[in-house]
Amino acid sequence: MRRRWRLILTVVVVVLVTGSVAAVAGARALSHRYEGAVERADLLPPAPSRPAGAPTEPPKVKGPMNLLLIGSDSRSKGEPGDGRSDVVILVHIPKSTGKAYVISIPRDTYLPIATADGGRGSRNKVNAAYAWGGAPRLVQTLNQFTGVTVDWPVIIDFAGIRTLTDLVGGVDVTIDKRSVDSYRFLPEDSPYPSAPCTDPQGRSRRCVAFPAGTVHLDGKLAEYYVRQRRGLPNDDLDRSKRHQQYLRALAEKIADQNLLTDPLKLDRLVRTASGMLTVDRRMPVQRLAFTLRHLRAKDLTFMTVPIAENRDVPGVGAVMVPDLAQSRELFAALRGGRLDDYVREHPPNDVRHGR
């Protein structure tokens, strides 16, 4: 039984699975407590109107299904004006629900943005959809681009990374090459690795530096690590891979400890993680948890939307132009249940190490 419940899928499924432990064990009051800690909002576009008397579709809890993880700097409700999202991750769970494919969409990906009425609009950075129309407009934008349907969007407050990482005692990541974040300035007494740099006013400062090799990330350093963009060889592509690397490291750390079997630690873990989330009002959290209970960190395959080139677009800025042919191939494989075949031809991201 202990082995069975050491099952997790990033921050979201940590909450879903551990929240379901109490329900399955009979402690339903605790389960409701955990679910009640998750914020709820209208994150999906309005459903098409149904004829009078037509049956209502039940909330989807079986595979195949698609979750959309939206990283936010604050505990927003996914409404217009809440700011742009630095993290956009599509999680596809096939019919078997025995694995999951985690597909990052870099925030600067240049896509047609859905219009306010759900039509196909002009191109911009994908995170503009969130800024202009909240989570529903981002969902519509990705539904149009991928040809798949997002079943459940989830907003993650990535500022909560610090608390969650410290709760598990930090995580270890392997870095291939030293990097310096020239946009992240540290105080002189900071304990973190640093390098000399210059701020926009020309003043000498100390910037965050990540040495090559194994690095232990406490909460604050983890936040710096997943936010770095400048100073990485492939800019936002490498940052997206860092997000995936961190989430995998967090999943493994939780699985390696007894957090899911110690009642007190479990309670703290779930309350902390659930406090980072906003889910759709209709999302059946406990039922999804039970459906996904067999997932382990090793069952996750990490990918990134294929990118053809980086380009500067007047009025928009630096963007990442998707490779349309490869993207169509990827999402056709997803829709057809053939992602295993796809990853044999297109190797996924190796998130055991990062830039």
pLDDT in tens, 190-238: 999 999 999 999 999 999 999 999 999 999 999 899 889 888 988 888 8
Ranges in the chain, pLDDT < 70: 1-36, 49-56, 73-84, 158, 258-261
What is residue 112's DSSP assignment?
Answer: E
pLDDT at 244: 85
- Strand 204-210 and strand 179-186: the pairing is antiparallel
pLDDT in tens, 314-326: 999 999 999 999 9
pLDDT at 1: 29
pLDDT at 153: 94
Gap between the Cα atoms of 355 and 352, Å rounded: 11
What is residue 352's DSSP assignment?
Answer: T
pLDDT at 204: 94
Written as one string, the DSSP assignment of 130-149 is: HHHHHHHHHHHHHHHHHSS-
pLDDT in tens, 236-264: 888 888 888 888 888 778 777 766 567 77
What global pTM score does this model have? 0.86
pLDDT at 211: 95
Other C-beta atoms within 10 Å of 88: how many?
26
Q: What is the CATH number of domain 10-44+59-160+237-345?
A: 3.40.630.190
Domain boundaries in the chain?
10-44+59-160+237-345, 171-227
Tallying the residues shown for the chain, one arrives at 355
